[in-house]
Structure 1
């Protein structure tokens, strides 16, 4: 019995490798932590800088745009909610607090609002900036409310524009003094009174960073253990086992030749020293081998033939092994699941090794088994099967071989058992080949699972893309279409009249781009998203978003194109602007009418008195001119009052067919005087609308009067028509006049806009019509008449029944 040194070659090698790996892992963890900490600080500082930029943008807008505009619109009045830059910036930034981890404070010492009085930390920052006048920014870590924050602060300096609210209290707006009292006044220009402070909570980020470092280090440790295991096996198989095999031969030879002293010295050496000593001893025995060579020479031919047969048989075996592995690769391509792969592969394995039965037992999630041939009894797992799949990887028994089936990551997923009736076949099998067989089978199964997961992910991604209702396409840098969802295909079919259903909408919309150039190439060159709007056929507006896809080389070679129709949004914004414009003009008109109407009444009264006392014709003629122009001014004021205070004071119901008939009869006299044809067509005799009869007459009268002014004498034609469209009633007024110029179409309902000559109109008729109709939930539009060639005004009113209003 021999006792070997405690430090063998394998232990020395693994010990050195472990020390080197541990040092490398610690250096990697420290370097990675420093790098991630720097990245975190840069990201947090960028967020805080962005917050300051937003605050500056809000304050600059208040000071340069909103406050001057408010002074212009309501002079002498100071609205804190709309004119105080500090109040607005605090209100806006209030939304960034809470769950987002942001902290924004704009505070001052002896602040006007006690709620924003500087605390101890903030007072220290104010004193810092006062002691360092040239410093404009402070940044660093602070503990706030038992939380770690990365803080950036800058001084708040009183400038000249701040003195109205923070200077002499006698010059301050009355609203500020009433709300805050005497706090916050008597500040000096260029003095530092407070700080703007932005804080970002980094507790969660630091904790997450530590978890990541620990996770990476744990992953490194696991990888190192796996690496040591593989290295140990490889070193043992490639180096130690071979050296031991050679050493065993040396010991056998030394025992036979009686080298007892040398054998004792070999026991005290490691494998390399033992091999070196053995080689020296081998040299001493070479001379004795010559005698044996002479004896072997006589039987050399027989030995060569025998060895040639063995090599030929071995070459055929290796060829069969290669063919088996190639077949397994082919079977993996044909299989759709791990079970199907096993059912196809086990017959090939059994035939190759001439096994009686082949059994696969799944040890990863269950004990399901597969056997070949069909109906054969499945082999049982050995008692030490857990040791086989975790340590040795293979076990030879009397009539069978147990092989661990491992994935590419080294995880055991099952056990392959080859059984022979004749135990001699077990001894003929190569251990390395059996290990390779288990790994090949495990890798094939793992690839099948990965392929199945990838296909499922592709299907999920396709479902998500198709679920987006807006057109969405993916294109490469050469403008070639890669994929498109159904919405994009439908839009391309709509644009092409059904000829192109590929979904290549970018090329179709580019034809309507008035700016020119390739927007996709612009987005790729800048590596930032590009957003544009395109108007199609002057009626539909589309918003196009082009988003570059950045690859691993930081170069975009694909783009995602997103298209959304915003026609309704544009129209809604235009209607809102029109309502705001009408409301503003209405207030102005009411004020003017009130201020001017009384003086005009006085002028008219005294002019009539003077006319009664006039002594000659010239005086009477002059007074008539005064009276005529005064009454004209009063008519203009009445129109202004009608516009500012429309007559629609409550909802009513009227028979639009009857109203159209009455309007036609009333204006038939004026039409006959001008020798103009006035006609009407009503589709139904009982069409009721949700508008009072008097108000409806006023609307139609204004439209007919405009038409009478627009047509020529002796050749004019005006037509009124009424149709029912679902839940609405549409009345149209068309003429064959000059029509409305395209550049005037968007201004036709603006107050005081008119194309008539001086003294012919006030420009308020259509504005009054627009206000009366829209107030009742209706619509009014102006366009060109296709049938008559002139203008066409379309009024759409909600349909109603007499009982809707208790009639």
Structure 2
């Protein structure tokens, strides 16, 4: 029989890895244990050395106490020859104390105090101790000896110190004659005497057995090593689980992949051999053999690729040709979009489209037939013979097809909203049909339709925008679009009347002041906040700082997608309207009062005439001076009443066109001379600032004198304190009026009074000092000549009178 070889055991990868890891960990643990053992041994040696030195220090402390304290005190108390061994001998006391300590200590320390000439036989040194005494005698500078040595059958760590005699020891260890009698009776006069100061008579040895440190060091090291091995076993178990999860599982999955993915005979043989070795070695061998198989397959593929390259080259040329064609289509679409951005109307866009399409398809002619609203046709190249489209071609608009008729191509132009027309492309030769992709051509038609639709929508928007802009700028009143924070978005040219600044930030400040002033009812308000809160249109009348009146209308726009509110602000200057209304109201009041005054004047004139007639008769008949004085007073007041009646009649008399003209500067100069004396008596200075070369005004000189007289008399009455001042100035205003300004520095006219100063019989003077008709008469004269009068009163009072210029000479 043939001897079959036993198969070698197969160790798994996990077994090899865990075994190697354990051996490494065990070696590491042994090294660490040795290091710990020697380290602990060194520490314990230091400890036992310190303990030995402490024993010596303790013995030395006892001896020092006996020598320095106890023995001198005993000598003082005892008679001269007395000596108490148990209380005065340092050697005896220290030996007894240390022996007592050794009995109570389990560490069994070694302690000896010996000398060359001992009094006590127990203190006789052995050979080792004699040798130490010789060492200390040879080297007097040596203070301590320390080493390990055998004491009996045990090894000890010993520390030795010399016993050196000093002056205090000479009484008991020097000359025997000086020693206490009782000491000599105990020990005799031979041993322990005849020492000199500085002699080393003995040694003190102390130490502990080495087994005191060796045993615990070994025990601790073994305990640590045991714990380490337990930890290694636990760690190996964890590593085994982790290795199984991370490596073995993936290797098994990889082996499974090999078994399922490679089913050929050659591959199957490789897979069968994977189980004959460990996982890594099997995979390495399997991958190597698979690489050989793949190399063979690659050679076969290379042979196939040589034939395939020719096919790929042909296909690549075909794809490149198609890509070139599609690139031309892409460029055409991009060019159409770029043309849209620069087009201003539909005609300009279509011209650009026809040129781009003709260049793309290398056509001889491109024509666009419009089928919406009109039947216009547009050609790329000028062509006077453009035939109309046939009905069957127009039907393309209702289908998603193109039409090719020999050398002609028809493409429907339409969008989702409308059908626009037909694009016709003509060639002199029949084109290759492979170059014409129906899908791209239909997309081209849709793109052109969308462009036409967009350009028309854009044109409509631009037309509406231009129209709205024209309307916006054509409004002469201020018109603005603002937001809720009073930021100006759009402002027309008319807004310059309220926004005088150039910078937008300064204009916004002006606008805020313009909207947040006091209204006519003297109440504080903010119309913008009210519109924002209510989101409803609001209107208000406001008065600006410069005295102008505006009617403000605010219209909030719907928010829609806007986060902020937009508001349209319309402002209309109503200053002239309010002035005209005031003048009309003044005229109506004068008219009604004049009618009433006419009746009163008629009823008063007759009695006044009778009173004056009879007063004159009585005056001629009376000679008494006092009576004549009383009659003169009656006549004076009668004439005053007649003057009032005459003024009333002038108010009620129908207005007639006043004829005549005069030079305003000359009349003013004469009037100043007339009132010079009166102004000097009241210490009032009259200053004139008259513009030269002013045209004549349309006013009779007598009427102008009466106007000046009434205004100056009011100014004289207003200036109560001395040092008053009246300024008179003239200038040309608006080329058709001359402006007369009369200003005084009196106390001014209160705001609530200004609107009533031209009313008849209204006066702020004391009773008996004014009739209230002066300014009413002036107002009537100014209206009759076609002028106007304005009053401003702040720190001073200014009457501005506008006289129309006489133009008869020009005509």
When normalised by structure 1's length, the TM-score is 0.50
- Greater C-alpha Rg: 2
